[in-house]
Structure 1
Amino acid sequence: MIIIVQGKNIKRFYRSIIKNPPPLAIITNSKFRIKQEKQLSGFKIIPSKTFSSRNRTQILPDLNICAQCRKELFTASDRRFLYPFINCTHCGPRYSIIINLPYDRKQTTMKQFVMCPDCKNEYADPNNRRFHAEPIACPVCGPEVRLVDKNGKEVPGEPLLNAARLLLKGKILAIKGLGGFHLACDATDNQAVARLRQKKARSRKPLALMVEAVNAVRQFCQLPRGAVKTLRSPAAPIVLLPKKIPPLIPVSPLIAPDNGSLGVMCAYTPLHLILFQKLRELCPQTPVLVMTSANFSEEPIAIDETELFSRCRPLFDYALIHNRKIANRCDDSVVQIDSGNPLMVRRSRGYVPQPLKIGPMFHVKHPTLAMGADGKTCFALGSGEAVIPGPHIGDLDSAESEIFFRSALKRLTEWSKIKPGRVVCDLHPDYSSVRLAEKLAKSYRAKLARVQHHYAHILSVMAEYQLPGPVIGLAADGTGYGIDGAIWGCEIILVNKDLSWRRVGNLKYLHHRAG
């Protein structure tokens, strides 16, 4: 971004911008230069130039609805009263709607919606909160919601009110969110939860929950220090929280059987918030919904109606759909709270694709693609002192997952201008991720490096906390292919200053009947 400023106290202005940037701004570096310019007047944002091969810019993740938009959403006199797609420069869709860079409306899936005069005025007004808010919309000119049955036939009446009625009757709904479809049902209805589990063939794995606000979470979960801040954060992830015993809301025991925790998120889009309001109007009990990805186990989340009805039709009874297209699929992020701080379990919506800074100690000399593991995989692109993580993909043993991996990788390499000169994968000879790495290394004409699974885990912790070697690391992760061809498990590894390593401790091997 280039900012041209004229007048007095320019240096003070520059320092104040660096010290106190706008709420969602991230300044990675800056330069100050005095230059002769013609006299300017007023405040203008000049249209972006074509995105050249030298440009590298950050892409904001999708953001939780802000307090101001939430207030307008439920203000009867506001022109966006109960409008499911209200947003501003502080919140709303970003990554999930971007087709190309630079980030202008015509480069997003909002390009099909022509702004009405009122939206145009807000978009062009520097004093307005929606000044250059690319997803700006209203009931006159923006996306619309529809409720359909599993055959695609529209259900007459108010979509969100009817959706709430169906949920309270025990029905399973597919709901289009920011980065894909969720499957939703009443979390206090044992029969509905059991039916959802049966349809997804998911017998024991915990299901995520969504509530309207933090006050609802308090009624069935404990809230350790830092949990409220994380639940209300711009990322609004799923937070793993200890169950409250006894709960004040009878959440079904089938949500997380034999598990002391529940994964809970607060409603982060206006559509979700309106749905919860309708549920409260119809039922006195505080509503809690199951909100799990619309997919079969470990397949990519469905992002459009074609995918939903072709792949996921057996999973739902009705679908709450809309006509704002999703360009980039992005599942919900999952965190747990450790000593008051969020600890990442699954990095995706709300965080991806923001770069992670790894510092000079782990400077990436050659642009690198890291493939991730085989299960619950995600990739990352590294260059210099930055690592750009890709979205959560799931297991890589299906054609759909590989297509998702390749499409997300293509976009992020184009946007970041990182062309991998090296591809790094697991040591296992028969992982799907390894076979894909071999293909990608060939297509990029890049070197292929194979790294032992547990050593990679310890290196990642060293990079995150900027720990120089020597370090003794304990990787209590699951199984990984060892350098001796055996299956390794709980490993103690010594990493030297030059990052060379050796195994100094491990659990005793077990003999397997298969040999």
Structure 2
Amino acid sequence: MDPLASTKERRQLLVSGTVQGVGFRPLVYRVANKHQITGSVCNQLGIVSIEVEGTVEQINRFIRDLEVQTKEPAKIESIEQSLLPLANDNCFRIKESKAEGISGYSFPPDLAVCSECISDLTHPSQRYYNYPFTSCSNCGPRYSIIQGIPYDRPVTTMKDFSLCEPCRKEYEDPSNRRFHAQTIACPTCGPIVELRNNKNVLVSGDWKRNVEKALLTGKILAVKGIGGFHLICDAASRKVVEKLRNRKRRARKPFALIVRDLQTVEENFELTQAEQELLASRRAPIVLLRPKPFLKEWLPLESLAPGYQRLGVMLPYTPMHALLFTDSLSFLVATSGNQSGLPIARTNEEALQQLDGIADYFLLHNREIGVRVEDSVCQVVDEQISFIRRSRGYVPESIPFPLPPFGVKEIPTVLAVGAEMKNTACILHGDRAILSQHLGEIEHEEQLTCWREGVQHIQELLRVEPEIIAYDPHPGYIVTQQALDQFQDYPLFPIYHHHAHMAACMAEHGLISPVIGCILDGTGYGRDGNLWGFEILTGDYLKFERACHLEPLALPGGEAAIRYPWMMAMSLLYQLEQDMFFTKHWALQLFPDVKEQLPFLLAQLDGRIPCPRVSSAGRLFDAVAALLGICVESTYDGEAAVLLGERAEMSSTGCLGKGNYSFAYSAGQWRVGQLIKDILGDLMLSVPIEEIAKKFHHTVVEMVIFGVLEAYKKTEIRSVVLSGGVWNNRYLLSCAKKRLKEVGFTVYTHQKIPAGDGGIALGQAVSALWRWHHHVFVRSSEDH
């Protein structure tokens, strides 16, 4: 045995990562006592500081054990060690937090209620029986209630609830799982619930029984959660689901379900191992799942998610949610509590005002929501997670990214303001990126206020001010105008939309060398001032080139064509023959209800009235969906394209089954005239819509392959990134990955952030940092 192993010493361990608010200090305490080590642990700004005293062997075993026992969502990213003088203390203690050190990334996401707390909730002998704010050191709200760091009760919205004696006893008991749980509360000392009707009158009696009665009689409830309000109703009642649609003016956009428990999900949905683990994880996102065939007999699936093969499903992630279920209620609709175009309601007052006319009852409580945080939404494609919306449960976890290679001693803080749709903002601080929660569409002042709140919240937690600003140069984005107005004296870096998409996927995977970027989305402002959206790019964080793209197509009606896909179908019909009579003939056959609007549309197509042009995969998908009669009017963003993807999945032939349509390529552009001609031919032959949709998807995959090979000929780059909202299409993503690998490319897809505009801020931020570095260090050194 090494004689030095028995030498006694004292070390300081500075632990970085997600180590505050996740039960890490109690874990340190238990592991230290297991190894008979003395010392202390406390929170500091951005880190947990541990002092340990014992033999070298004891301390080394303690560190190894601590690393092994640290489980999600806690995460150790680094441990910095240094020697200290011996203190000869006689125990191990959890000390008061210190507001010293440097800001960091240890503030945690909101955590789903754990099984132990659910057990307490359901046992009459427990003092937490039926208490909707039960939590412990392993679960409960975190990010949505944090108001400062280090993470302790006085800097959360729990600060107004003083602990009663039984709670304090549990809080101070190292053997109790509520040991140092900052959200601990009980019916005696914690938040309280009240049920009010739509006249704001308190409903007397037991709130749980009243809620059960309301749900079973077809009422709609506004329920205050941890990051905002949900609108909740009985998912088994077609009548009440349609009533919610009418009141919320949400014609066809799918509703998410919250299901009683994992067993109920397993009995009613087809689950892969990855889907099951994701659904039951402490992050508790909404996961898109395929229902078993018999479920349509119990739930009105077409009312819940019209045209979809999957439903968004989540498990109860708060005690409040769990208490909504009874023997008669196993499936509830849970959708964002907001009016169309407004942010999710956060306060009781906002809910009572904004949801008046939608909700019949309001289930309220007096714990403040510090910041709005909507539910995360994801799916599993080829056993890998694919985010549609990254928010609760994941934010504000940091994402590592590649730093510029040399010359940077102090890294400036970067704020990227994101895009207009599905907005998230991003802050780079040190070598980590913090992506905000989903902030939604930024088109009105109320939404811009929500954006300011989200950005300010992260800045306050990090205790930083931005030094560099990255933004999308689209002249119509109000979030861009906000950045230009608010930060006009800062270094400003415009990052083009599709370059940001490519850089986001690169940054997520830590790539430094140039890549080929396959960027497929709706529309984004291009370097030439036109609208792009179906691009093969080559480049890195500093620059990009457009290797090839879809031929520009007329966008008749401008942005109206996004809502009315039949207009984009008209554009494709005209593109095919450049003939007014041909276009009108097909338009009258396919879209007879729009006869009166045809003259104005045709005038735009033949140039008599000015019309923007667009090279967009999203608009191409829209047009084909309209041609096939799948969707001629979209009621929510991306509806036509999404439904086209769903129909492709319904086809009986497997992925990459035989058959795709023709396309031409010239002067760096894909030409789709023959593609449209072939689709019309199949329509005339009464080929099933599902088969046409699948062949169209195969054609898009082959267009991508062709474009990547063209880019490879010029650059010999073999790394390919797939980014842009169109890659949320499960079938397209799976097929493209397989084909690209078949022809010898290494493929990178988004797994930590959304492929759509919800991830674009990361690419903006990292690209801006690299450009700043190049300007400050590389150019200056070249000048000398």
TM-score, scaled to structure 2: 0.62
Alpha-carbon distance in structure 2 between the residues aligned to 1:422 and 1:392: 22
For 1:209-234, what per-residue CA distance to the aligned partner results, in whole angstroms no more than 9, with x for missing partners?
Answer: 11111222245432233111011001
Does the alignment pair 1:373 with 2:427?
no
The 3-state SS of whatever aligns with 1:7 is: strand
Matches within 5 A, 1:270-285: 270-276=319-325, 279-280=326-327, 283=328
Aligned pairs (5 A) from 1:97-496: 97-247=145-295, 250-252=298-300, 253-276=302-325, 279-280=326-327, 283=328, 287-360=330-403, 365-442=411-488, 445-496=489-540
2: distance between equivalents of 1:249 and 1:267? 23
Q: In structure 2, do the counterparts of structure 1 residues 57 and 45 end up closer, same or farther at CA, with 3 Å as the change threshold?
A: farther
Which runs of no fewer than 5 residues in structure 2 stay unpaired?
Answer: 1-47, 556-603, 605-609, 612-784
In structure 1, distance between residues paired with 2:195 and 2:322: 16
**Would the alpha carbon gap of residues 362 and 356 (structure 1) be closer, same or farther in structure 2, given more than 3 Å must change?**
farther
* 1:334–1:344 contact (8 Å) kept in structure 2: yes
Q: Which residue identity does 2:478 align to in structure 1?
A: S
> Displacement of 1:244 after TM fit?
2.9
> What is the DSSP-based 3-state SS (H/G/I as helix, E as strand, rest coil) of the residue aligned with 2:502?
helix
Between 303-312 and 355-364, the greater mean CA deviation after superposition: 355-364
Structure 1: tracts of 5 or more residues without a match: none
CA distance in 2, matches of 1:298, 1:89: 37
Aligned residue runs from structure 1 range 501-512, under 5 A: 501-512=544-555
Looking at structure 2, the residues matched to 362 and 296 of structure 1 have their Cα atoms a distance apart, in angstroms, of 47
Deviation at 1:420, TM superposition (A): 1.4
Matched AA of 2:362:
A
Structure 1 residue 41 and structure 2 residue 85: aligned? no
Q: Counterpart of 1:425 in structure 2: which amino acid?
A: Y
**What displacement does 1:17 show?**
2.0
CA displacement at 1:477 relative to structure 2: 0.9
Q: Displacement, 1:298?
A: 4.1
Paired residue type of 2:349: T
Identity over the aligned pairs, expressed in percent?
A: 39
Deviations 1:99-147 (A, max 9, x none): 2222111111111111111110111112221111001011111111111
Once residues 484 and 391 of structure 2 are traced to their aligned partners in structure 1, the CA distance between those partners, rounded to angstroms, is 25
Instruction: Report the CA distance between 1:349 and its aligned residue.
Output: 0.5
TM-score where L is the length of structure 1: 0.94
- In structure 1, C-alpha distance between the alignment counterparts of 2:228 and 2:483, rounded to whole Å: 27
Distance in 1 (CA, whole Å) between partners of 2:100 and 2:387 is 32
Q: Is the 8 A contact 1:221 1:262 kept in 2?
A: no
Offset at residue 404 of structure 1 (A): 1.5
Which structure: larger Rg?
2
Task: Give the Cα separation in 2 of the matches to 1:92 and 1:345.
Answer: 24
The Cα of 1:51 is off from its aligned counterpart by 5.2
TM-fit CA distance, 1:248: 5.9
Indicate yes or no: 2:112 matched with 1:64.
Answer: yes
8 Å CA contact 1:145, 1:320 repeated in 2? yes
Report if the CA contact (8 A) 1:396-1:432 is conserved: yes
Contact 1:367 1:383 in 2 (8 A): yes
More helix by share: 2
Question: Residues of 1 paired with 2:180 and 2:521: CA distance?
Answer: 46
Whole-Å separation in 1 of the counterparts to 2:236 and 2:336: 19
Of residues 46, 69, 75, the one that matches 1:26 is: 75
Q: CA deviation at 1:180?
A: 0.7
1:438-496 deviations in Å (ceiling 9; x for gaps): 12323xx3211111111211111111223343311111111111111111121111115
For the aligned residue pairs, the C-alpha RMSD in angstroms reads 1.9
The DSSP-based 3-state class of the residue aligned with 2:465 is: coil
What is the DSSP-based 3-state SS (H/G/I as helix, E as strand, rest coil) of the residue aligned with 1:292? strand
Matched, 1:4 2:51: yes
Q: Distance in 2 between matches of 1:43 and 1:24?
A: 24
Q: Is the 8 A contact 1:477 1:490 kept in 2?
A: yes
In structure 1, what is the Cα distance between the partners aligned to 2:405 and 2:521? 23
C-alpha distance in structure 1 between counterparts of 2:260 and 2:75, whole Å: 29
* Residue identity opposite 1:89 in structure 2: S
* Alignment partners' CA distance in 2, 1:88 and 1:415: 23
- Mapped to 2, the partners of 1:7 and 1:254 lie a distance apart of 64
**Which letter does structure 2 place at the counterpart of 1:470?**
P
Partners of 1:423 and 1:448 within 8 A in 2 = yes
CA distance in 1: counterparts of 2:365 and 2:261, whole angstroms: 24
